Every structure is written in C-alpha cells, then in structure tokens.
Structure 1
Amino acid sequence: MPPKKSISKVGTLEDALSYIHDRCTLMFGGFGGVGNPPTIINGMLEKGVKELTLIGNDAGFPTIGIGKLVSQGRAKKLIVSHIGSNPVAGQLMMEGKLEVEFSPQGTLVERIRAGGVGLGGVLTDIGIDSMVEEGKQRVIVHGEEYLLETALTADIAIVYAKTADTFGNLVYETSARNTNPLVAMAGKFTIAEVEEIVEIGELNPEMIVTPGVFVDLVIQSKGVDWKWAWE
C-alpha cells in the first residue's frame, strides 16, 4: 500500500485573513504585547477589519501588537485584565467608544482555560462584594460563597509560537509562551503564527506544548514588533 499522505496545515497570511471578519470575536495570546502575533495583526489592520470583540490579557501598547487594533478604533469591546499600558484604550473607554469588561488576571486565564476544555465556567471567591461581582451569580459550595465566572471562547484564536511542524504542534520561546497555549485551545478556529516551520517528526515531543489537534492553520511570521519594548 502507498504511504499515507501527511496532513499539512501550513498556509499564507491571506489564508488566515480570510477567516477574520468584521464583528467577529477574536482571542489573542500575549502579555503586554509579548507573544502577540504581529504579522496577523498587521494584516488585520491592512484588511480594515473592525467592530471586533477582543479577548486577551491586556490592551498592549498603542503601537505594539494588539494595541494597534485598539488604538485605531477597530475594537468595539475588550475582555481583559487591564488596559493601563495603552492610554488610548482608556481614552476610548472614557469617551464611550469602547466597552471594556475587566476580569482579574487569574480569573481571566481560568475562564479561557475553561472554554478550551469545554467547561461552562469556574467558581472563585475573587471579587465578592466588589465591582467585579456585578451581574454575576453567587454559588454556595460546602457553605462557602463563590462567584460563577463563565467560560470564554472565540470565533478565532490567534497565537504566536517559536516553532511549529506542518501538523501544527507548537513550541514556544520562554516568556513569549504566556497565555498562548490556553488561547490556542479556546478558539473555534485557531491560527498560529510562528518563527519557524519544520516537518512532522523534527520536533522533540517533550518540547511540544500545544498539540496540533488544537491548531487549524499555521503561517510564517514576518518578524515581531515587541521585543525591543522589553529590552
């Protein structure tokens, strides 16, 4: 019998952008811009995508990573842990041009993880009797009160990794890993931007963090715009 043809998920930036449309919910990996996928974000700017709901750790910086989309008014809503590093986001929020849902960082990450593994939500006592509790259900377990934090998923998830094989198995580089593995699991369609693409079998299995089963498309990165900000 002839050998089975291996699956290749490698595509182009144009392929990636064909899945990203106005008014979609988009989840992104990254922490303060580090780990944001810049080639995809720049492509979204050029395409003119707008009215996005963005889910991720923060609003980045005005001219770095996801912050570019926010600063140019392409987002209608953010679900993030903070926006302090991007003053434009704060200004847009105060002017009523941007809706922001704040979630404590640990809670936000757990909500993303829950979405990725198919849970409906998580229980936490963080935020009880504070503004965080607004609109949320209290649940009593063994006599203790918790808030129900609903899971987060997205139409599209975009992540950044150091290396991928053609099936989409991902290896990350040090702190640029941050939220990317969890985000990769929580998208209905996940696109990975990577520095290097290798053939199946070339990655050390012990180094793979995100299995390719969670990744739908892999594209080559054209270079990052955030490393200098942390030097």
Structure 2
Amino acid sequence: MDKTVVTAAEAVADIADRSTLAVGGFGLCGIPETLIRALHAQGARDLEVVSNNCGIDDRGLGILLGTGRVARVTGSYVGENKEFARQYLTGELEVELTPQGTLAERLRAGGAGIPAFYTPAGVGTQVAEGGLPWRHAADGSVAVASPAKEVRDFNGDSYVLEHGITTDFALVRAARGDRHGNLVFHTSARNFNPLVAMAGRVTIAEVEELVEPGALDPDEIHLPGVFVQRVVELDAAQAADKLIEKRTVLA
C-alpha cells in the first residue's frame, strides 16, 4: 500500500514518447511543477497533453512546450503563453479547444468509467457543428478541423455528445498526502487536479507534505488513494516554489 517514490525522476521514468498525459492546474495555480521538470529532464517527446492551459512560457507545461516535447493539446485556454499561441498558429502543434466545463466533465467521466455524455455547452457553434481549427498549415490555413458531433434533443432542448477522457499518465499536485495516495488540495489549487487524477491510468502526485496513513481526517480527503499510483514528497524549496501568474497592486 505504500505508494511513495523517492524522487520525481523515478516517478516519471516510464513515461514514454507519444504518451497521453493529463496535467492538473489552472494557470500556475496547483501545477505539478516538479514532476513536469523531471519529465523534461527525462526526455519524453511527442506527448499528447490534456490540461486546462499550458502554463506560461517558462513555467509549468510551457517548459515542455518550449522545447518541442508536446505534439497535441486538449485544453480550454491558449492565453498567457505566447509560445503556445505561436506553435498553434504556425501548425507546429495540434490543439483541440474544449469549453472549460466540458473539459472538466470529460475528465471526470473518463475517470468514472463513463464513455460519453450529453451537454448543452457548444450547441449551435463549431464545437458541435465542426470546423474548429485543430491544426493550421504553414500559410495559416486550416489543415485539420474538428469533426461534427452528434446532437440530440431531450425534452425539447438540444445537447451535444462529448466523450470521456482517459490518459496513460496523470500528474497532479496536492498540499497534503499520505503513503496510500489519499490527497488534500489547498483552496483554489484544487481546480482540475482531482479530475485529472481520476482520468489517468497511472496517476503521479507530488505533495507538499507527506503524512502517515490515518493522519488525514477521512472527511477532509478530496481524492481517495484508489486513483493514485505514485506519491512524491517535495522538499522545502520545491514546496515553496509557487510563482504568481499576475500580480495586481491597488493604489
């Protein structure tokens, strides 16, 4: 039952080229920065990433993106990362843009064993009708476009069929975790992390504080250990390394 791994490098060692990878976080909040850096050092390439966004140019998933390690992204937001936008617009990167709530539910559904579901989000738009640019050509034209999706009416309203997401691996960050993989997230750093963890066949968690089994109150656990296969304890410097994406100061 002890799922702890000594180092982040050991935890990500078997992530191969062309793996699918779900990654928690929202902007720079709650991102598994140490695991991402270990994966960058490990060298895996042509990764297909599922994440709300791709960090910024030199932090989070931006580290992998900037060195050409990512082949495809399924996410809901391109902003804040100039390299992400550049690669998408020049055809170097395939991007499947998905409404944010739909992305969250696709991850949850995949983790719960639900293959697909209907949602009103996107009905009447290119999300349902197809034609969203997934990949551009070098001249800026659309090389690959999204396909049309099934739309059905229920009780007089239209809904689009969306598929659940599962991935080979998932990387998440938690404030506290025990050796069995039970995790507690801190306030807004919870964001996509529990859903990402559910979707991964092998989920790796970096935790700021590692505690012994039984130390966590069952009522405060946000993600049960059944969804986590590996746990890495961060050192003090790694746990404190939290960049503020945008700082606003009121006069």
Task: Spell out, residue by residue over 1:26-45, the C-alpha distance to the aligned partner (whole angstroms, 9 max, x if none).
Answer: 00000002111111100111
Counterpart-to-counterpart distance in 1, 2:97 and 2:159: 18
For 2:165, the equivalent position in structure 1 comes to: 152
Aligned length: 225
Checking the alignment, whether the CA contact within 8 Å between 1:81 and 1:104 is kept in structure 2 is: yes
Q: CA deviation at 1:230?
A: 4.7
For 1:21, the equivalent position in structure 2 comes to: 16
One-letter identity of the residue aligned with 1:109: A
Checking the alignment, whether the CA contact within 8 Å between 1:161 and 1:195 is kept in structure 2 is: yes
For 1:193, the equivalent position in structure 2 comes to: 206
For 2:143, the equivalent position in structure 1 comes to: none
1:71 to 66, 69, 74: 66
For 2:79, the equivalent position in structure 1 comes to: 84
For 2:41, the equivalent position in structure 1 comes to: 46
1:180 aligns with 2:193: yes
Counterpart-to-counterpart distance in 1, 2:218 and 2:123: 42
Counterpart-to-counterpart distance in 2, 1:48 and 1:191: 17
1:174–1:227: structure 2 CA closer, same or farther, 3 Å change rule? farther
Checking the alignment, whether the CA contact within 8 Å between 2:28 and 2:244 is kept in structure 1 is: no
Counterpart-to-counterpart distance in 2, 1:221 and 1:121: 36
Q: Which moved more, 1:127-136 or 1:154-163?
A: 127-136
One-letter identity of the residue aligned with 1:84: G
Alignment partner of 2:245: what SS? helix
Q: CA deviation at 1:195?
A: 0.7
For 1:228, the equivalent position in structure 2 comes to: 244
Counterpart-to-counterpart distance in 1, 2:62 and 2:212: 33
Checking the alignment, whether the CA contact within 8 Å between 2:3 and 2:180 is kept in structure 1 is: yes
Listed as ranges, the matches of 1:102-121 within 5 Å are: 102-121=97-116
Q: CA deviation at 1:14?
A: 3.0
Counterpart-to-counterpart distance in 2, 1:175 and 1:220: 20
1:138 to 148, 151, 161: 151
Task: Spell out, residue by residue over 1:99-142, the C-alpha distance to the aligned partner (whole angstroms, 9 max, x if none).
Answer: 00000101111111111111112211222222212121112223
Alignment partner of 1:227: what SS? coil
Checking the alignment, whether the CA contact within 8 Å between 1:64 and 1:226 is kept in structure 2 is: no
Q: CA deviation at 1:197?
A: 0.8
Task: Spell out, residue by residue over 1:137-184, the C-alpha distance to the aligned partner (whole angstroms, 9 max, x if none).
Answer: 112223322110111110001100011111010011111111101111
1:122 to 117, 121, 132: 117
TM-score (norm 2): 0.86
% of aligned pairs identical? 43
Q: Which runs of 5+ in 2 are unaligned?
A: 131-146
2:232 to 209, 219, 224: 219
Alignment partner of 1:82: what SS? coil
2:219 to 191, 194, 206: 206
One-letter identity of the residue aligned with 1:177: R
TM-score (norm 1): 0.93
One-letter identity of the residue aligned with 1:8: D
Checking the alignment, whether the CA contact within 8 Å between 2:9 and 2:35 is kept in structure 1 is: no
Task: Spell out, residue by residue over 1:173-208, the C-alpha distance to the aligned partner (whole angstroms, 9 max, x if none).
Answer: 111111101111111110000111111111122211
RMSD: 1.3
Counterpart-to-counterpart distance in 1, 2:243 and 2:217: 26
For 1:161, the equivalent position in structure 2 comes to: 174
Q: Which runs of 5+ in 1 are unaligned?
A: 1-6
Checking the alignment, whether the CA contact within 8 Å between 2:27 and 2:245 is kept in structure 1 is: no
